[in-house]
Amino acid sequence: MDAEPDKAWRTLGPQAVTVLGLAGNLALSGAKLAAGWFCFSQAIFADGLHSLSDCATDLAVLAGLRISGQPADDCHPYGHRRAMTLVTAALALILLGAGGWVVYVALRDMARAHHAVRVGLPLAIAIVSVVSKEALYHVTVRVGRRAGDLSVVANAWHHRSDAWSSVVAAVGLAAVAIGGPRWQFLDHVAAMVLASFLAVVAVRLLREAGAELMDEAPGAELMRPIEQAVANTPGVDSFHAVRARRLGGKLDMDIHVQVDPDLTVRQGHDIATEVRRQVMNCCPNVLSVIVQVEPKEPEAGRLVRRSSKSEGE
């Protein structure tokens, strides 16, 4: 079932999908705020404020993409891709704050009486918001994962959080239409449940951003095929000192390979070039590979190959 959406949206890049989300958020926030004002619906008005806050996150992601796309310079020799990591952390904090605010408002308004509202239009807008924002979530998260951009993935969760917010608004409005103010407490209960889930998502995104900022090594499942590609490169007798870190969702790595000590400098360089090509073909998310060529030590042999160790484990 997922093949068709991937086929339909695979040409979208991170910037294009973020602009699409911004346009959707502007349209939805305007409709919700107007409906809330003229139909006396606090629920849909608050939902409109949530959509309006998503516009700010879209702008933050666009700014992060613009900065991270700048080439390396004298002050930033490794480029600017960490800007996306910082944006991811900021969006996670916003998600965490939004969840806390939802809980606060739900608890504050639990015992308050609610005014009668004109349910029809706000309820229809809430339903449209649920469908459109969930669709935006699926498109955005696919593009973000394909591009390896955590900030776009985090922004996708903002789309989903807005869909949940609209679900809460729709439930509250439907409860008012069916049972009157007696059932309004269900709106607050649902809001607190969804807010707790938002908190879990925010903590996970913060953890991923923090791990990237601390240069945490990728998992063994990701490194195993890369090490196998190095081991299978012609001319490589063994390798060691494999290091990798995430850089704006991509991998930056270096590796030491051992070759026949009687090879010429040109032959050693050709082997290093082939190692780099094999690694980048094996894992498209690898941004750069620094290969250091060393003469093979007699006592090292192939026992130092990390892939052999991994296979033994």
CATH code for the domain in which residue 63 is found: 1.20.1510.10
Local confidence band at 7 (pLDDT 50, 70, 90 cut-offs): low
Q: 172 and 235: one domain? A: no
pLDDT at 160: 86
Among 97-101, 114-118, 178-182, top mean pLDDT goes to: 97-101
Instruction: Please indicate, yes or no, whether residues 173 and 244 belong to a single structural domain of this protein.
Output: no
Per-residue H/E/C for the chain: CCHHHHHHHCCCCHHHHHHHHHHHHHHHHHHHHHHHHHCCCHHHHHHHHHHHHHHHHHHHHHHHHHHHCCCCCCCCCCCCCHHHHHHHHHHHHHHHHHHHHHHHHHHHHCCCCCCCCCCHHHHHHHHHHHHHHHHHHHHHHHHHHHHCCHHHHHHHHHHHHHHHHHHHHHHHHHHHHHHHHHHCHHHHHHHHHHHHHHHHHHHHHHHHHHHHHCCCCCCHHHHHHHHHHHHCCCCCCEEEEEEEEEECCEEEEEEEEEECCCCCHHHHHHHHHHHHHHHHHHCCCEEEEEEEEEECCCCCCCCCCHHHHHHHC
Question: Looking at the structure, do residues 145 and 191 belong to the same domain, yes or no?
Answer: yes
Residues 134 and 256 in one domain: no
312 has pLDDT over 50: no
pLDDT at 305: 47
Do 260 and 199 lie in one domain? The reply is no
Asked whether the beta carbons of 286 and 226 are under 8 A apart, the reply is yes
Window from 103-107, 169-173, 211-215 with minimum mean pLDDT = 103-107
* Total domains in the fold of the chain: 2
Cα distance between the two ends of the chain: 37
Q: What pLDDT, on the 0 to 100 scale, is given for residue 192?
A: 73
The answer to whether the beta carbons of residues 133 and 169 sit under 8 Å apart is no
Instruction: Provide the CA 68 distance to its chain's centre, in angstroms.
Output: 15
Closest of 168, 167, 151, 310 to residue 239, by C-alpha = 310
Contact criterion met (CB below 8 Å) for 305 and 239: yes
pLDDT of res. 219: 77
- Shared domain for 10 and 150, answered yes or no, is yes
Average pLDDT on 201-215 reads 80
CA 215 to mean position of chain CA atoms = 17
The model's confidence at residue 302, banded by pLDDT at 50, 70 and 90, is very low
When pLDDT is averaged across residues 116-121 and rounded to a whole number, the result is 70
Percent of the chain with pLDDT strictly greater than 90: 7
78-93, pLDDT tens digit by residue? 777 777 778 778 877 8
| Residue 2 reports pLDDT greater than 60 | no
- Residue 182 structure tokens: 């007696």
In a shared domain, residues 273 and 146: no
Name the residue range of residue 225's domain. Answer: 220-312
Question: When comparing pLDDT for 264 and 179, which is higher?
Answer: 264
- The model's pLDDT over 212-245, given as tens digits with 9 standing for 90+, comes to 788 777 777 778 888 888 888 898 888 888 888 8
> Cα(100)–Cα(81) distance, rounded to whole angstroms?
30
Instruction: Give how far Cα 129 sits from Cα of 24, 60, 164, Å.
Output: 9, 22, 9
Going by C-alpha positions, the residue among 159, 235, 237 that lies closest to residue 198 is 159
Give me the pLDDT at residue 132, please: 92
Query: What CATH number should be reported for the domain holding residue 231?
Result: 3.30.70.1350
- Domain shared by 178 and 269, yes or no: no
pLDDT in the model for residue 158 = 80
pLDDT band at 209 (very low <50, low <70, confident <90, very high): confident
CA distance 195 to 198: 5
**pLDDT tens profile 28-52:** 989 988 887 887 776 777 777 777 7
